[in-house]
Structures are given as C-alpha cells and as structure tokens.
Amino acid sequence: MIPRARRDFRRLALGCLVPLIVLLLAVPVPGRCAADESEAILQVYRPLLAEYSRLFLKPQPSDPVGFALEKNMFSSALQKLFKAEQRLRNKEGMGRLDFDLFFNAQDECGKPLKILGLAQEKDSYLMTVTNGCKGQKPYVFVLVKESGRWVMDDARYGVDGKIWTLQGILKGK
C-alpha cells in the first residue's frame, strides 16, 4: 500500500502538470505559426502563378483579372475596384490599367513568374515576385487574410524611382 503523503503528492503533481501541459499545447508558438502560415501561402500561390505564367506565355491573349477572379485571388476591396474598372472600360473603351498586373508588363519576355520571398508586415504578407525580364525590378503583392484565405489586396510596382500601387492605379491616383 502507498503511504498517504506519497498519494497526495502524486495527486497534486498530476493536478498541476496536466493543466500546465494542456496550456502549453494550446498556446501557439509565434515563430512556428508564422512559418507554417508562410508555407501555406506559398503552397497556394506558387501553383497559381505557374498556371498563369503558362497562360500568359502562350500566343493567345490572357486575362489576368478574369484568371484572378476565377481563382478567388482578390480581396473584396480589390474586386470592387476591378468591377469599377470594367464599367469604365465599357463606358469609355479604355480603363486605367494598361498592363498585365501579374507580369507588370504589356509584353512577355519568355520567362515565368517567380516568387522571390514572402515577409510578414503587421496583418498582411508581402510576396515579392519577378517576371524574369532583364532590367525589370521585382514587385510586391500585398496579401491579406479574408474569410480564412490569403488573397491579393494590392500590388506595389517600382517605376522610375516611384512606387505605384494597383489600388492607386485603379482609383485614378
């Protein structure tokens, strides 16, 4: 038979250890979760950009906005801006966006899109991308979490030392 003091110590130890272990398992580890989130984003966007690259590099015209809408890649704010852009094109025959938003170009140079990096910035991720064309600087897609998915909310393009944003272009700014 186990002496009472020993039994009481075991009960106390189990009573403290079990909740402590449960608490430690329930609290997320920030570094690990961010890495997991980054990997999940890359697993979604690498194949999407590879698929779009194959379409863009074919001789027939491609539709970046149609592709992104079909694949649910845009935030609700960006979707609204593209609907306004479409109304402007229908009314005036031309819109504000006159280049391929994924390739940051009007013409292809025979290279697929490539993700160079992904960095967290507050509640968003910045995905740096290159189109592989000589002389073209990498650009950034801003991803936000909406309805549990990471979607494009903006893009930042560097042109002649100035940063242009996709939302700014679509808003006419």
Q: List pLDDT tens digits, range 2-39.
A: 566 566 656 645 564 444 444 444 444 444 466 899 99
Q: pLDDT: is 49 or 24 the higher one? A: 49
At 155, which CATH number? 3.10.450.50
Domain count, the chain: 1
Res 61: pLDDT = 77
CB 154 within 8 Å of CB 145: no
Does residue 8 lie in a domain region?
no
Does residue 3 lie in a domain region?
no
Does residue 11 lie in a domain region?
no
Q: List pLDDT tens digits, range 65-118.
A: 888 989 999 999 999 999 999 898 888 888 888 888 888 887 767 789 999 999
Does residue 155 lie in a domain region?
yes
Q: Domain of 136?
A: 30-171
Does residue 118 lie in a domain region?
yes
Res 6: pLDDT = 60
Pick from 110, 81, 113: nearest CA to 97? 81
Res 30: pLDDT = 47
One-letter identity of residue 141: F
Rounded to an integer, what distance in angstroms lies between the CA atom of residue 154 and that of residue 121?
A: 13
Res 136: pLDDT = 85
Both structure tokens of 162 = 């100035």
Does residue 13 lie in a domain region?
no
Res 9: pLDDT = 57
Does residue 152 lie in a domain region?
yes
Res 165: pLDDT = 95
Integer angstrom CA distances of residue 80 from 56, 95, 96, 151: 24, 14, 14, 14
Does residue 6 lie in a domain region?
no
Kindly list the strands in the beta sheet with 124-130, ordered across the sheet, starting from the edge strand earlier in the chain. Answer: 114-121, 124-130, 139-146, 149-159, 162-165
